[in-house]
């Protein structure tokens, strides 16, 4: 047995989280990939936000023979599961429907610095969604996956060029693939209740970046009156948002701070609304006065 050297690695980033990494992912190889990994003596090592696939360097010649048997390509399909079901809410590319999941293929990889991005755009998008019944996913998904959907799936193909051997690939720097998911963008609507609903109020961004428009007074489903304000632009959801919005009362040439720091949007308070003729996600935030 020789030293184990990395063949490739995959990392997953997510803008919702403070450190930008998507933790607690469970990577499950497809049945075909599992058989290949076991047969070749490869080892999967989990990273904080991804995995690495290692090969025994002393078996490089045997791997070349296996590669020839498999018509010059090793194909590794993986399904990725997430314990937190709310990921569908805070992830931009994901559909709340079970009919589609994001799917990525190294054949469409894009060079991005010293790494290879597994999607065409800077982050995963609707263009990466695949119906679970698609041909691309047919070899990946099992019967169980029709009941418990993976969060996303990807395939890595290792295809040496010309006379290149597995041994020479292992001696070189391994290919580093990565996926980047963005946080869902929502309009933030503040509903001011109680004494706030009768005040001349405004919402100010202390960082001078985001404006709010008044929706005037509205009546909630329980008939309570509220003064409503909605952000003029969509705002990304964050696990720990840095937004600093302040509620102020204005009038008679003066301004008084009512709430020094308004609460930020949470994953559990989102619905769909039509704004400017388009169906969008809206975060609802209730503030009692």
Question: What pLDDT digit, counting tens, does each position of 236-271 carry?
Answer: 999 999 999 999 987 766 678 999 999 999 998 898
Length of the chain: 289
d(CA 180, CA 283): 23
> What DSSP element (H or E) covers 36?
helix 31-40
Annotate 108-129 with b (16+ C-beta within 10 A) or e (fewer).
Answer: ebeeeeebbbbbeeebbeeebb
Average pLDDT for the chain: 91
Question: What pLDDT digit, counting tens, does each position of 125-151 carry?
Answer: 999 999 988 988 988 988 888 888 899
Helices and strands in the chain, H and E counts = 5, 20
Q: Say which DSSP state 263 is in.
A: P
C-beta of residue 14 within 8 angstroms of C-beta of residue 90: no
Among the residue ranges 155-164, 202-211, 232-241, the one predicted with the least confidence is 155-164
Query: Which regions of the chain does DSSP assign to beta strands (E)?
Result: 4-14, 25-29, 43-47, 50-56, 74-82, 100-105, 110-112, 115-117, 129-131, 152-158, 175-181, 185-193, 201-205, 212-219, 225-231, 235-236, 245-251, 254-259, 270-275, 278-288
Better-predicted residue by pLDDT, 222 or 20: 20
d(CA 132, CA 129): 9
In which residue are the tokens 């996926």 written?
179
First to last CA, the chain: 70
Band (78; pLDDT cuts 50, 70, 90): very high
In which residue are the tokens 């709340």 written?
96
Residue 55 has pLDDT above 90, yes or no: yes
Give backbone dihedrals phi and psi of 148, rounded to 5 degrees, phi first: -120, 100
Retrieve residue 144's tokens. Answer: 């169980």
C-beta of residue 35 within 8 angstroms of C-beta of residue 42: no
**SS3 state at 32:** helix
d(CA 179, CA 104): 9
C-beta of residue 154 within 8 angstroms of C-beta of residue 10: yes
Band (170; pLDDT cuts 50, 70, 90): confident
d(CA 145, CA 98): 11
Better-predicted residue by pLDDT, 106 or 93: 106
d(CA 255, CA 9): 55
pTM higher than the cut 0.75: yes
The pLDDT value recorded for residue 240 is 93
The pLDDT value recorded for residue 95 is 65
Q: Say which DSSP state 182 is in.
A: P
């Amino acid at each position: 047995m020789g030293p184990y050297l990395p063949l490739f690695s995959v990392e997953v980033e997510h803008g919702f989280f403070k450190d930008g990494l998507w933790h607690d992912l469970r990577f499950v190889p497809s049945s075909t990939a599992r058989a290949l990994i076991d047969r070749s003596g490869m080892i999967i090592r989990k990273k904080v936000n991804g995995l690495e696939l290692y090969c025994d360097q002393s078996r490089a010649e045997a791997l070349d023979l296996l590669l020839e048997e498999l018509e010059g390509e090793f194909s590794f399909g993986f399904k990725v599961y997430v314990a937190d079901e709310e990921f569908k809410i805070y992830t931009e590319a994901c559909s709340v429907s079970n009919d589609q999941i994001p799917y990525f293929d190294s054949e469409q990889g894009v060079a991005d610095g010293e790494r290879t991005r597994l999607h065409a755009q800077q982050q995963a998008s609707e263009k990466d969604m695949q119906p679970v019944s698609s041909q691309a996913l047919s070899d990946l998904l099992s019967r169980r996956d029709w009941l418990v959907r993976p969060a996303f799936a990807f395939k890595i193909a290792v295809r040496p060029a010309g006379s290149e051997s597995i041994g020479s690939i292992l001696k070189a720097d391994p290919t580093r693939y990565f996926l980047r998911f963005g946080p869902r963008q929502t309009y933030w609507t503040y509903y001011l209740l109680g004494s706030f609903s009768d005040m001349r109020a405004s919402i100010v961004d202390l960082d001078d970046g985001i404006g709010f428009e008044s929706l005037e007074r509205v009546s909630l489903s329980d008939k309570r009156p509220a003064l409503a304000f909605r952000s003029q632009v969509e705002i990304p959801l964050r696990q720990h948002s840095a937004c600093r919005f302040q509620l102020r009362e204005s009038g008679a040439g003066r301004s008084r701070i009512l709430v020094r720091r308004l609460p930020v949007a949470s994953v559990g308070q989102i619905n769909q609304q039509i704004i400017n003729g388009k169906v969008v996600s809206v975060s609802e935030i209730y503030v009692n006065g």
